[in-house]
DNA sequence: TTGTAAGCGTTATCAA
DNA sequence: TTGATAACGCTTACAA
């Protein structure tokens, strides 16, 4: 007879492996209150019917014992862990804020966040590390994933493992090739276009772009839109491009600046590149913005602290995180695996500080 | 008879609440392999004895079905969730790196990280929010906590809830009053002393300190050691202090600089304060380092990007996170609740850039 | 209003 | 070498 209502859990033989913390269970309360485990469950879960008198007694005992429900036990039964897996390179000024945004929204909805920090940029072992984290999350039965893919190619890694189990998945900041999932990020095409239009409007006709890795959608799209917009001016405006990593070095920046037909205004794929341009400009004794206008992307924490302050296209990382969380929470209600992919693009916002100026000022 | 080996889980009536993802269980494999659930468990867990033949068949089936063990189910039984609760304000350039360090170390040990982001600084509702997160972690039965307390006062919140359940707890970066738990952080006393000694060695005799909130140990200790060291010089060196939040404003900095007996060198409790001093100095037309030496604390991401580069006492957030993880992992092996509190203090490292100079240069 | 039975997916124990 | 059984803490379904 599988009667578990028997008094006293087997405490006599404390198996070595079992940490056996002092955790209170429904049975503990039930025994003390003289009711069944189910009644306690109903009272504390506030569902079903029970008398006020019972409720008071049960609640009092639960509080005195500092009862805390075991969500894992519940999850094993309900199939919902109330946990979301968040997979992104958490260090660094951008993604840490995405994490914050996602966390806040999820916490408000009663979900907890499992954090996995994948490598910031792609390398040979990056996929392997990422896959390990994905597995760790699957094993803990997260209800959904919010993740920043290392690059377009990560599809193979995720698709099979996650989509196959029909666990909702939202990609953040970088798209996955053959997007089979929801996406939240910045409108990089708009950003690239705004950058070109802004610098052009300032009178610059020799533009430069310090680009990022082509295998990453955000970098690729910004460049695409920037170049396309420049081509569309049809007034002889030129655009020189140098591609580097996201963390462009001073050397990368010099490649773009240390030439005869130097651009008078440069759009960097990221504020990091802009910082590199500051360093290169200083080395070449170019004054910003008089000799060189610099436009960044992201509005990272240091943008306003540079001298002069960096003009940049601000992203809104907290909003990205929040939107991703909302999307993923929406998927959880639905029984349908994936009706149609949703995409949320947040427009970047031009912040003008001191690093950009009209072309004319270069001749003052 | 509670015979669960029966073939076919109840799939006929898909209860509405159950998400019923396509998850494979030990029973599914056992059925297909024609063995018992236990044999499968043993094979996949690689414990106990089993024939090579059985092993191969079971493994093959498990792989073909993409089996992933349910760690929650396991945890309910073993009492170990293999999950650590990490509670800190994850946005921002410092704690995001602590999180990264802790994550890396824990992931390497096979643990997952539950992330809770508490408010960056204390307020009336900060404790309540933090308590909610602590509860969420306890409900998910984390094996241990790594957390950054809002302030000294948070003791009451944590002590009862965590310590009482004898869940290991490591405080990070800020101490809890009446420290009943392990602590990992920067050696703030050493930092304060090094700051004073360095500026004094440069010849400065009128020092200033832009301090942080007194209720936070790191700020308090830095100030304490700075003032004590200055007093110890016994050569008439003075020290003017202005207390602000960690994110000191330009106005805070002006309070310190816009006075007749202005200090010639200022130690800021944090690089944030140093940045504020840069702004204030610019407003007052003071040149750094000629008219004013500025020394920061932390070596945040922007320290090297300021102009001039900020001299600062570097912290090592990744190392703090890693050490905290190690400490907490060490506690998990022990059956003893808490033998003795351990403390790991990482020495700050003086990084000299361009914001500090000998007193003499002020007269050139 | 309350309780019993069964089951979630796993592991420990002991018997076969 | 394998399997039956109970247990972990909880919830749903149904019976009283």
* A168 lies in some domain: yes
pLDDT at B11 over 70: no
| Nearest by Cα to A71 from B128, B4, B83 | B83
Q: Where are the beta strands (DSSP E) in chain A?
A: 83-87, 112-116, 144-147, 169-172, 182-186, 206-211, 238-243, 265-268, 293-298, 311-314, 343-346, 349-351
CA separation for the pair A316, A307 (Å, rounded): 23
Sheet holding A311-314, edge to edge: A238-243, A206-211, A265-268, A293-298, A311-314, A349-351
Assess whether A312 and A214 both reside in one domain: yes
| Nearest by Cα to B222 from B187, B189, B173, B175 | B189
Assess whether B163 and B130 both reside in one domain: yes
Q: Which residues of A touch B332 (CB under 8 A)?
A: 19
CB of A180 within 8 Å of a chain B CB? The answer is no
CA distance A66 to chain B (A): 8
pLDDT at A150 over 90: no
Assess whether B261 and B207 both reside in one domain: yes
Assess whether A200 and A229 both reside in one domain: yes
Q: Is B136 helix (H, G, I), strand (E, B) or coil?
A: helix
Element (H, E) at B349: strand B349-351
Instruction: Give the count of alpha carbons within 13 A of B226, CB side only.
Output: 34
Q: What is the domain-level CATH number for residue B207?
A: 3.40.50.2300
End position of a domain, from candidates B69, B103, B121 = B69
Locate tokens 């200083």: which residue? A282
Q: What average pLDDT does range A308-334 have in this prediction?
A: 95
> Would you tell me which residues 79-108 of chain A have a C-beta closer than 8 angstroms to some C-beta of chain B?
79-81, 83, 86, 89-93, 95-97, 99-100, 103-104, 107
The reply to whether the CB atom of residue A5 sits less than 7 A from any atom in nucleic acid chain C is yes
The reply to whether the CB atom of residue A10 sits less than 7 A from any atom in nucleic acid chain C is no
Structure-block tokens of residue A75: 């999850």
What pLDDT, in 10s, does the model give residues B182-236? 999 999 999 999 999 999 999 999 999 999 999 999 999 999 999 999 999 999 9
* A274 lies in some domain: yes
**DSSP label at A34?**
T
Give strand letter and number of the nucleotide nearest B42 (CA to C1'): C11
CB of B230 within 8 Å of a chain A CB? The answer is no
Q: CA at B2, C1' at D6: how many angstroms apart?
A: 10
What pLDDT, in 10s, does the model give residues B243-278? 999 999 999 999 999 998 999 999 999 999 999 999
Assess whether A107 and A55 both reside in one domain: no
**D chain positions with any atom within 7 Å of a protein CB:** 1-13
* B127 lies in some domain: yes
DSSP string, A191-236: HHHHHHHHHHHTT--EEEEEE--TTSHHHHHHHHHHHHHHHHH-SS
End position of a domain, from candidates A17, A41, A69 = A69
Q: Decide: A184 and A355 in contact? Cβ < 8 Å.
A: no
Structure-block tokens of residue A337: 């695996």
pLDDT at A197 over 50: yes
| Nearest by Cα to A248 from A265, A272, A271, A226 | A272
Provide, for chain B, the percentages of residues in helix, strand and coil under a 3-state DSSP scheme, each rounded to the nearest 5: 45, 15, 40
Assess whether A324 and A209 both reside in one domain: no
Assess whether B304 and B335 both reside in one domain: no
| Nearest by Cα to B82 from B353, B255, B332, B337 | B332
Assess whether B263 and B328 both reside in one domain: no
Query: CA of B303: which chain A residue's CA is closest?
Result: A302
* A3 lies in some domain: no
What pLDDT, in 10s, does the model give residues B128-154? 888 899 999 999 999 999 999 888 777
Total structural domains within chain A: 3
pLDDT at B18 over 70: no
Q: What is the domain-level CATH number for residue B43?
A: 1.10.260.40
* A222 lies in some domain: yes
Which pLDDT does position B159 carry in this prediction? 74
Assess whether A153 and A90 both reside in one domain: yes
Assess whether B242 and B272 both reside in one domain: yes
pLDDT at B34 over 90: yes
Q: What average pLDDT does range B341-363 have in this prediction?
A: 88
pLDDT at B345 over 60: yes
Locate tokens 């690089």: which residue? B271
| Nearest by Cα to A106 from A312, A351, A330 | A330
Q: Which of B18, B110, B112 to mutate to test the interface with A (most CBs of A within 10 A)?
A: B112
Residue B363 CB partners (closer than 8 Å, separation 6+): none
Mean pLDDT, chain A, whole residue set: 89
Structure-block tokens of residue A97: 């804020």
* B19 lies in some domain: no
Assess whether A353 and A223 both reside in one domain: yes
Residue A179 CB partners (closer than 8 Å, separation 6+): A171, A341, A343
Structure-block tokens of residue A82: 């109330």
The reply to whether the CB atom of residue B5 sits less than 7 A from any atom in nucleic acid chain C is no
Assess whether A221 and A292 both reside in one domain: yes
Show which residues sit with Cβ under 7 A of nucleic chain D. Answer: A 1-2, 4, 9-10, 23, 25-27, 37-38, 41, 45, 47, 69-70, 73-74, 76-78; B 1-5, 15, 17, 34-39, 42, 48-51, 53-54, 73, 76-77, 79
* B9 lies in some domain: no
Sheet holding A144-147, edge to edge: A343-346, A182-186, A169-172, A144-147, A83-87, A112-116, B112-116, B83-87, B144-147, B169-172, B182-186, B343-346
Which pLDDT does position A31 carry in this prediction? 92
Locate tokens 């009943």: which residue? B180
End position of a domain, from candidates A69, A99, A120 = A69
> Would you tell me which residues 247-286 of chain B have a C-beta closer than 8 angstroms to some C-beta of chain A?
275, 278
pLDDT at B179 over 90: no
Give whole-number Cα distances, B280 to B199, B254, B304, in Å.
Answer: 20, 6, 19
Which pLDDT does position A185 carry in this prediction? 97
Number of Cβ within a 10 Å radius of residue A150: 23
| Nearest by Cα to A155 from A127, A136, A132 | A127
Between these two residues, B276 and B1, which has the higher pLDDT value? B276
What pLDDT, in 10s, does the model give residues A114-131? 999 987 776 667 778 888
Q: CA at A54, C1' at D15: how many angstroms apart?
A: 21
* A17 lies in some domain: no
Residue B33's domain spans which residues? 26-69
Give the phi and the psi of residue A343 in degrees, each rounded to 5.
-130, 130
């Amino acid at each position: 007879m599988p009667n578990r209502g028997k008094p006293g859990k087997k405490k006599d033989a404390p198996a070595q492996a079992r940490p056996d913390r002092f955790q209170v269970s429904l049975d503990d309360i039930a025994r003390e209150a003289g009711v069944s485990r189910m009644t306690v469950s109903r009272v504390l879960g506030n569902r079903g019917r029970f008398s006020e008198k019972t409720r008071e007694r049960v609640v009092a005992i639960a509080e005195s014992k500092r009862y805390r429900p075991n969500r894992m036990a519940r999850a094993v039964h309900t199939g919902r862990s109330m946990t979301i897996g968040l997979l992104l390179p958490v260090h660094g000024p951008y993604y840490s804020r995405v994490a914050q945004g996602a966390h806040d929204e999820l916490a408000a909805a009663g979900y907890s966040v499992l954090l996995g920090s994948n490598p910031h940029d792609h390398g040979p072992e990056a996929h392997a590390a990422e896959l390990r984290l994905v597995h760790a999350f699957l094993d803990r039965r997260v209800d959904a994933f919010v993740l920043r893919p290392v690059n377009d190619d990560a599809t193979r890694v995720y698709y099979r493992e996650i989509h196959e189990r029909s666990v909702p998945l939202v990609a953040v900041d970088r798209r996955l090739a053959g997007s089979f999932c929801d996406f939240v990020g910045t409108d990089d095409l708009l950003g690239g276009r705004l950058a070109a239009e802004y610098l052009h409007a300032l009178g610059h006709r020799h533009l430069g772009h310090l680009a990022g890795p082509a295998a990453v959608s955000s970098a690729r799209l910004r460049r695409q839109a920037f170049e396309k917009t420049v081509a569309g001016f049809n007034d002889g405006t030129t655009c020189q491009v140098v591609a580097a990593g996201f963390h462009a070095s001073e050397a990368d920046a010099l490649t773009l600046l240390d030439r005869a037909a130097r651009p008078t205004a440069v759009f960097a794929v990221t504020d990091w590149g802009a910082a590199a341009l500051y360093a290169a400009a200083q080395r070449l004794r170019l004054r910003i913005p008089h000799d060189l206008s610099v436009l960044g992307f992201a509005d990272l924490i240091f943008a306003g602290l540079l001298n002069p302050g960096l003009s940049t296209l601000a992203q809104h990382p907290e909003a990205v995180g929040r939107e991703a969380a909302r999307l993923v929470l929406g998927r959880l209600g639905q029984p349908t695996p994936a009706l149609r992919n949703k995409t949320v693009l947040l427009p970047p916002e031009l912040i003008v500080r001191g690093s950009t100026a009209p072309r004319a000022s270069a001749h003052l």
